[in-house]
Amino acid sequence: MSHFHAHDVLVIGSGAAGLSLALQLASHAKVAVLCKSELNEGATYWAQGGIAAVLHKNDSIDAHVSDTLNAGAQLCHEDAVRFTVEHSSASIDWLLAQGVQFSRFDNDSNELHLTREGGHSQRRIIHAADATGRAVSTTLSTKAKEHHNIEIFNRHVAIDLVVRDGRCHGAYVLNRDSGHVELFHARASVLATGGANKAYLYTSNPDGATGDGIAMAWRAGCRVANMEFNQFHPTCLYHPKAKSFLITEAIRGEGGKLLNAKGERFMQRYDERGELAPRDVVARAIDHEMKRLGSDCVYLDISHKSSEFLLEHFPTIKARCLELGIDISREAIPVVPAAHYTCGGVMVDQRGRSDVEGLYAIGETAFTGLHGANRLASNSLLECLVYGGAAAADINSRLDDLSAPLIAPPWDESMVTDSDEDVIISHNWDELRRFMWDYVGIVRTDKRLQRALNRAALLQQEIAEYYSNYKVSNDLLELRNLAMVAELIIRSAMQRKESRGLHYTLDYPATLPTAQDTVLVPDNYGHQSTS
C-alpha cells in the first residue's frame, strides 16, 4: 500500500452536503474531502432549479411544511420536515455569507428573486438564474480549496469503510491515478456521495451517481429505508446529443405547458393542478401519454414568453437548446422522464448519525424522513445544507470524545491480477441499467420486480467473482455498488403492497390507510466488523 492518511474527519463526497459540512468543521478539525473525479462534477453542480426556503413575508414555515407533507404522500416524518424548514432561512444566510450570488429582482434591488415550482403553494425558490447548483458548488469549492485545514483528494474513490467493534475508523480508498489502494483514518467519517440514479437507463444525474455511500453503509451494517421511492424528473431533454440534460421544473413554474405528440395539452386530464402537479404525477402522466400514442417524447412549450424573459431566467437552457437546433422562444422542447433523485437511503437521526458509531450520512445518501414518498421540488439542496450543518455541529461537539481510530491492516493486493476482460464490466453495467428501467421504473408489477431481482442476484454473483480475482478499478467499484443498491431498491419495492407517491404498481393501485416506512436490515446490523 502506497499511502496512509490521518485526519480528524473524512468526508466522502464533494457536493453541497460534503463541502458545507467540511467548511463548518475546518476551524476546529483537519478534514479530508474525497472527490471521485474532480471538484464540481457531482449532482450539486448540475442542479438548475434552486433551494426552497421561507424567505418572503407572505410565506410561512407552516405553509412550507404543509406543502412538503402533501408531496410526500403522508410518509414524511413531520419532525424532520419542520426541523429542515425551520433552518431554511439560516442556511440561505450562510450561503450568502460564503458569497453565493443569487438572482435579484433587478440590478438596483437587493430583493432576492423567488420562483415557484410544482407542489409549492408560494414562490419560495431562491435561485441563481437556472444554474443554482453551479453557483453554490463553485463558491463552496473555492472556499474549501483556500482553507488550510481542508485537504482535497481528487480522483479518489472510496471502496469500503473500515469498521471494527461497531465503530467506523475510516475507509479504504482507490487512488485512480496510481491504481493503488490507500488507507484513510479518521475519528469521524461522513458519507456525502449522492444518490443512485445511474442504476437507470435514462437519468438526469452525472456519471458519479452510483449509490456508493448507500452500498458502503449497507455492507458496514447500516439500515436503509424507503429505497423504492426513486423520483423520475418529468422533463429531461430528449435529443441524442443531450446527455442527461435537465429542463428545470421552474419552466413549468413560469407558465410552460406540456403537449403530447398531437400538440394537445394533457396534464389537466390527470391533475387539477396541471403542469404544477408534483413530479410523480407529471412523470406518470407523460409516461402514459407516450405509451398511449406510441411516441418517443412529449413537448414542453414556453415559447409564449419573450426572448428577453427566457434569456434572463433560463440562459443555460436557452443556450444548450440552441446548440442542438432548438429555439425555445419559437418552438417546444422535446422531453422525457428520467431517474432524478433517490428519496431513500442510509437511516440517520437529526444529527446525521448512522447506525455505526462515528459514521454520518448527509444529503441524498441519507434517509432523514424529509422526503417521504416523493421529494418536493428544491428541498434537496436545502436538506444538504441543513443536515450538513447539523452533522458538523454534532461532530464539533464530540470530536474530543471520538477516540483515535484503530490502525487497520493494509489492503492486500497480493492475490489479484490486472483484468483483460473489462468488457464484462461494461456489459453488466448496460444490462443492469436496462432491466432496472424496464422492470423497476415509473410503473411496476410483482412479475417485473421478481424478474429484476433474479437478474440482480446473478449479476452480483458475477461481480463478486470478478471483484475477488482482479484489481479494483473505478468502473468495477461503481458497478459493484450499483448492483447492491439495485437489489435494495427491488427488495424495498417488493415489500410495499400499495401505490404511494413515487412507487406505483399495477398489482396494488390503491393506497393503504396507514403509511409505513420500508426498512431493510443487513445481516451484520448491531455487530458490525468489516474490511
For 42, how many CA atoms within 13 A lie in the half-sphere containing its CB?
A: 33
Residue ranges with strand state E in 165-261: 167-175, 181-191, 224-225, 230-237, 257-259
The grid cell for 70 is 402533501
For 302, how many CA atoms within 13 A lie in the half-sphere containing its CB?
A: 29
What spatial distance separates the first Cα and last Cα of the chain, rounded to whole Å?
Answer: 15
- Number of H helices and E strands in the chain, helices first, is 15, 18
Please tell me the distance from the alpha carbon of residue 126 to that of residue 105, in angstroms, as a whole number.
Answer: 11
Cβ atoms of 519 and 367 closer than 8 Å: no
Nearest CA to 265 out of 274, 254, 252 is that of 274
Residue indicated by cell numbers 407533507: 69
Please tell me the distance from the alpha carbon of residue 301 to that of residue 418, in angstroms, as a whole number.
Answer: 51
Annotated active-site residue 279? The verdict is: yes
Please tell me the distance from the alpha carbon of residue 476 to that of residue 470, in angstroms, as a whole number.
Answer: 10
Nearest CA to 300 out of 292, 312, 310 is that of 310
Residue 309 β-bridge partners: none
Cβ atoms of 393 and 24 closer than 8 Å: yes
State the Cα torsion 522-524-528-531 to the nearest 10°. Answer: -90
Nearest CA to 226 out of 352, 73, 104 is that of 73
Catalytic residue among 167, 219, 279, 448: 279
Cβ atoms of 235 and 377 closer than 8 Å: no
Active site residues: 279
